[in-house]
Chains A and B, each alone.
Chain A
Amino acid sequence: MLKPQPAKPSKKKKDLVVRLTNARGFEFGRLPQDVASWVSKLLDLDIVDFRGSTVVDCPTTLHSGADLIISLSIYIKASAFRTPSTSAEDQKERVMFNEGQETGEEQILRERKQALLKMFKVLELKPRKGSDFTRRPHGKLDQQDLEMLSQRQVASGGSKPKRQTEIVGDGEEVEVDEEGEELSDNELDLIYKRAQQNDRQLGQMDPADTFTLDLRGYQKQALNWMHSIEIGAVSAREETSMHPLWKEYLFPLEPNNGVIDLTADDRAFYFNEYSGELSLQFPKAERKCRGGILAYVVGMGKTIMLSALIQTARGPEDPAPNGDTNTSKKRQLKLNSAFRSVKRDADVLPKRGPAATLIVAPTSLLMQWCSELERSSKPGTMKVLVWHSQNRTDLDVALSGDNPVDVVITSYGTLVSEHSKMERSTSPVFEIEWLRVVLDEAHHCKSRQSKTAKAVYALRARRRWAVTGTPIVNRLEDLYSHLKFLDFTPWSNYTFFRSFVSLPFLARDPKAVEVVQVILESVLLRREKNMLDTDGKKIVELPPKEVIVENLEFSPLERKIYDSLYTDAKKNFDKLNERGLVSRNYTHILAMLMRLRRAVLHPNLVLSGADEGIKASSAGAVDVNALIKQFDEGKDTPGDNKVFAEGVLANLEGEEEQECPICFDVMDTPTIVPICMHQSCKDCIVAFIETCREKGEDGRCPTCSRGPIKESDLIEVVRTKAETDSVESQASRPTVTLRRNDFRSSTKLEALLRDLQRLRGENPSFRAVVFSQFTSFLDLIQVALERESLTWYRFDGTMDVKKRNDSVVGFKADSQGPKVLIVSLKAGGVGLNLTNANHVFMMDCWWNAATENQAIDRVHRIGQERPVYVKHFIVSDTIEGRILQIQKRKTAIVKEAFRGKGEGDPESVENLKIMFGDI
Chain B
Amino acid sequence: MSSLPKRIIKETERLVVDPAPGITALPHDDNLRYFDVTIQGPDGSPFANGVFRLELFLPEEYPMAPPKVRFLTKIYHPNIDKLGRICLDILKDKWSPALQIRTVLLSIQALLSSPNPDDPLATDVAKHYKENEKDAQRVSREWTEKYAS
Contacts and interface: CB of A to CB of B under 8 A. Distances in A.
B100 to A, nearest CB: 8
Contacts of B63: 662-663
A662 B65 contact: no
Contact of A665 (B6, B65, B94, B98): B6
B97 A688 contact: yes
Given A662-B7, A664-B6, A688 B64 contact: yes
Contacts of A661: 97-98
Contacts of A697: 93
B94 A705 contact: yes
Interface string A644-674: 0000000000000000011111000000000
Nearest to B65: A691
Interface in B76-113: 93-94, 96-98
Contact of A662 (B61, B93, B94, B98): B98
A702 B65 CA distance: 12
B7 A665 contact: yes
Contacts of A684: 97
A572 B7 CA distance: 43
A700 B93 CA distance: 12
B5 interface: yes
B28 interface: no
Give the interface SS of chain B, mostly helix, strand, loop or mixed: loop
B118 interface: no
B6 A663 contact: yes
A705 B95 CA distance: 9
B5 A705 contact: no
Contacts of B93: 697
A687 interface: yes
Contacts of A702: 96-98
Contacts of A687: 64
B65 A663 contact: no
A630 interface: no
A703 interface: yes
A702 B96 CA distance: 5
A665 B61 CA distance: 17
A664 B64 contact: no
Nearest to B96: A702
B26 to A, nearest CB: 19
Contacts of A663: 5-7, 63
Interface in A300-318: none
B4 to A, nearest CB: 12
B11 interface: yes
Contacts of B64: 687-688, 691
A684 B98 CA distance: 10
A697 B11 CA distance: 27
Nearest to B13: A664
A109 B32 CA distance: 91
A561 B63 CA distance: 23
Nearest to B97: A662
For B11, B93, B97, the residue with the greatest tally of chain A CB atoms inside 10 Å of its CB is B97
B90 to A, nearest CB: 10
A661 B10 CA distance: 12
B97 A664 contact: no
Contacts of B65: 691
A702 B93 CA distance: 12
For A662, A664, A700, the residue with the greatest tally of chain B CB atoms inside 10 Å of its CB is A664
A664 B98 contact: no
Nearest to A663: B7
Interface in B22-77: 61, 63-65
B96 A664 contact: no
A705 B94 CA distance: 8
Contact of A664 (B7, B61, B94): B7
A664 B97 CA distance: 10
A703 B98 CA distance: 5
A705 B10 CA distance: 23
B113 to A, nearest CB: 22
A684 B5 CA distance: 13
Interface string A695-712: 001001011010000000
Contact of A703 (B5, B11, B94, B96): B96
Nearest to A697: B93
A687 B5 CA distance: 15
Contacts of A705: 94, 96
Contacts of B97: 661-662, 684, 688, 702
Contacts of B94: 705
B104 to A, nearest CB: 14
Nearest to B10: A664
Contacts of A664: 6-7, 10-11
A727 to B, nearest CB: 40
A276 B97 CA distance: 90
Contacts of B96: 688, 700, 702-703, 705
A702 B63 CA distance: 11
A687 B10 CA distance: 20
B7 to A, nearest CB: 4
Interface string A666-686: 000000000000001000100
Contacts of B7: 662-665
B55 to A, nearest CB: 23
10 contacts: A663-B6, A663-B63, A664-B7, A664-B10, A687-B64, A691-B61, A691-B64, A691-B65, A702-B97, A705-B96
Given A662-B63, A662-B98, A697-B93, 9 more contacts: A662-B97, A663-B63, A664-B6, A664-B7, A665-B6, A680-B98, A688-B96, A688-B97, A691-B61
List the 6 shortest-distance A-B pairs measured between CB atoms, nearest first.
Answer: A702-B98, A661-B98, A662-B97, A664-B7, A664-B10, A703-B98
